[in-house]
Amino acid sequence: CFEDPLGKSWNNPWDVERHLLLKRKIDIPLAWHTEDPKAFLIAVKSGAIDYFNAGGLGSLEEPGYTEKAVSRCLRSAAIAEEAGMQGWVDPLGVSSGVQHVFGLHLASVIKNATMPADTFYMLEDDLIKGSFCEIHDGYTEVPKGPGLGIELDEAALEKYLIESKDRPSPRC
């Protein structure tokens, strides 16, 4: 399928009419990110999309952003579930193993997140110890254990730590 084939414009972030026009012109299913549940509901009701991508979940720049994004993701996934729509969870495009594991936990509570995520590709030299998931027959299990079920690699955290006067080091 095509994921967000028309992108976003400054005055109409999710132009449903253009997606409907595209859908009439091609035989390829369309997927839509779920950042805005109201726009997502309009797109689902209009038939402009076929699948959802619950993505764009994290930002360190805006306090409380991740919590708001998870809430929007869950609301949109519920809308999709009511419409019988399937999709996937993509926690944050190019991301770390920590974000991938967070996405696995999130996907595990979304019944209709049955499609494979497309973000398990850049996990060399990561911030976690060991392998956090193994894929078997298209599925993986959510890591078990405290927190997210993974162990942070302290040496990798030190290696990639960027200190700035705008964002002080998180070290205690």
* pLDDT tier for residue 33 given thresholds of 50, 70 and 90: confident
| pLDDT of residue 94 exceeding 70 | no
| pLDDT of residue 16 exceeding 90 | no
Distance CA 171, CA 36 (A): 35
Distance CA 153, CA 66 (A): 23
Q: Where are the domains of the chain?
A: 2-125
| pLDDT of residue 84 exceeding 70 | yes
Q: What is the mean pLDDT of residues 12-23?
A: 82
CATH of 2-125, one of 3.30.465.10, 3.20.20.120, 3.40.50.720, 1.20.140.10: 3.20.20.120
Residues in CB range of 2: below 8 A, 6 or more apart: 26, 28, 29, 30, 31
Lowest-pLDDT range, 4-8, 74-78, 84-88, 89-93? 89-93
Residue 129 · residue 145 · CB < 8 Å: no
Q: What is the mean pLDDT of residues 65-83?
A: 87
User: In the prediction, which pLDDT does 172 show?
Assistant: 46
Burial of residue 88 (number of CB atoms within 10 Å: 0-12, 13-18, 19+): buried
Average pLDDT in the chain? 81
- For the entire predicted model, the pTM comes to 0.79
One-character DSSP codes across the chain: -EESTT---SS-SS-HHHHHHHHHH-SS-EEEE-S-HHHHHHHHHHT--SEEEEE----SSSTTHHHHHHHHHHHHHHHHHHTT--EEEESSSS--HHHHHHHHHHHTT-TT--SPPS-TT--SS-SBSS-S---BTTB-PPP-SSTTS--B-HHHHHHH----SSS-----
